[in-house]
Amino acid sequence: VIAQPTGQTELLEGTATVNDDQSLTMVLGYSVVANTSTAKHVEQTMRHYVFNTDRSAVYTEYDMAAEGEQMQQHLSSELHKTMP
């Protein structure tokens, strides 16, 4: 469950797979989205997470179907763990 500050709450379901190289892929693609009355209307979302082998980095993609548009990539990011 993810609550967005933009007025949506996502209930996501999916799979987690350890790949041959020991990286981890999570695909959360079966979503139910609840929208507040003042939010833009989002029909469906999908999230992809790929963690590298030592889990020190993650690549993410966020796909969304909203405002009458078909599902399409909305955001992506790559985050790296830094050591103090």
- Per-residue pLDDT of the chain (84 residues), as tens digits, is 999 999 999 999 999 999 999 999 999 988 899 999 999 999 999 999 999 999 999 999 999 999 999 999 999 999 999 987
CA pair distance 2, 42, nearest whole angstrom? 14
What pTM does this model have?
A: 0.87
Report the 10 Å Cβ neighbour count for 64. 22
CA distance 8 to 65: 13
Q: Identify the structural domains of the chain with CATH numbers, from first to last.
A: 2-80 (2.40.128.20)
What are the pLDDT digits (tens) for 38-61? 999 999 999 999 999 999 999 999
